[in-house]
Structure 1
Amino acid sequence: MTLHMDAFLDRVKERGEYENRQEAQRAARVILALLGAHLVGEVRSRLAARLPEDFALILLNPLQSAEPLSPERFVRATAAWIEGATPRTAAWDVGAVLSTVADAAGDDLLQQVLLQLPAGYDLLFGRPEPT
């Protein structure tokens, strides 16, 4: 089930405690562009199909990543792309956006997404793996 743009942004706005949808949208664009660089093939296509169209296109046409970023470097890269962000606020941004993406993906698809990512991303999606 695809979330509509307004519903998606409202969730990100609420979770990120942003003042407005524009801030939520800016964070979502950056984070989905970074995430898209880490995913390939059918998993990326299936995840894109569950996102609002604008965000699906960002996920499918990502920033190029030379190597998979660890969760810590993913947060640092987010901070570098969002004006005025710090690693702490970027971690908040990542959590707000990726937990909303996790909701849209559903558990089965999220498991496949996590298999393509370095260890530790389950925490960024707000879905810690049981140890």
Structure 2
Amino acid sequence: MTVTTPQPRATIPAPSASLRPAAHETPEGAGWVKLADAVREAGQYATRAEAERVTRVVLRALGAHVTGDERVALAQALPREAAQVMVSQIPAAHAVSAREFVESVATRIEGSTPATARWDAGSVLSVLADRIGEPLTTRVLAQLPQGFALLFGRADLAATA
């Protein structure tokens, strides 16, 4: 009778830091659920599914307009699924106004109007601002044209001509 010695199992390397869930998130997606629930409450959506749908649309739209270090920092501050949705978008070639941003959200949600899209964008982005904190929100807003602050739940105090 021949005895074979068990071979050691190959170890699976730990995911890189960019693929690891945020510290506040479990692998099962609890961070995404908390984000969707916060959006559901802020936007007064009837179901979590509706809040998740709106959150995905707004994050995709935002992902096209946040670049560089702020994009990386924002992705790291979000739950994994939210970060993947946001960074799946190729950055736009030119900046859009807050109005154009809202209009782009309206085109992505069936039956949406500019008024409901503004509500949707504001619901998601104000929750996002609360989640990522003041310093990162300020950095993200510095990249975006005037008018976005209101969507993030902040007063837009820029001087007008």
- The answer, yes or no, to whether TM exceeds 0.5 is yes
Q: Secondary structure at the match of 2:121?
A: helix
CA shift at 1:64, angstroms? 4.8
CA shift at 1:7, angstroms? 1.2
Identity %: 43
Equivalent in 94, 112, 119 of residue 139 of structure 2: 112
Q: Does 1:126 align with 2:153?
A: yes
Contact 1:33-1:63 within 8 A present in 2 as well: no
Output the CA distance in 2 between the equivalents of 1:45 and 1:38: 13
Q: 1:124 to 1:31 in 2, by over 3 A?
A: same
Which runs of at least 4 in structure 1 moved beyond 6 Å after TM superposition?
Answer: none
2:106 matched to which residue of 1? 79
Q: CA RMSD in A?
A: 1.5
Contact 2:66-2:91 within 8 A present in 1 as well: no
1:45 matched to which residue of 2? 72
Q: Which residues of structure 2 form unaligned runs of 5+?
A: 1-22, 26-30
Kindly provide the CA deviation profile for residues 70-92 of structure 1, in whole angstroms up to 9, marking residues without a partner as x: 01111111000011111111111
TM-score (norm 1): 0.93
TM-score (norm 2): 0.76
More helix by proportion, 1 or 2?
Answer: 1
Task: Compare CA radii of gyration and give the structure with the larger one.
Answer: 2
Output the CA distance in 1 between the equivalents of 2:157 and 2:101: 22
1:101 matched to which residue of 2? 128
Task: Give the counterpart letter for 1:100 in structure 2.
Answer: V
Higher-RCO chain (CA-CA 8 Å, sequence separation at least 6): 1
2:53 matched to which residue of 1? 26
Q: Does 1:70 align with 2:93?
A: no
Q: Which residues of structure 1 form unaligned runs of 5+?
A: none
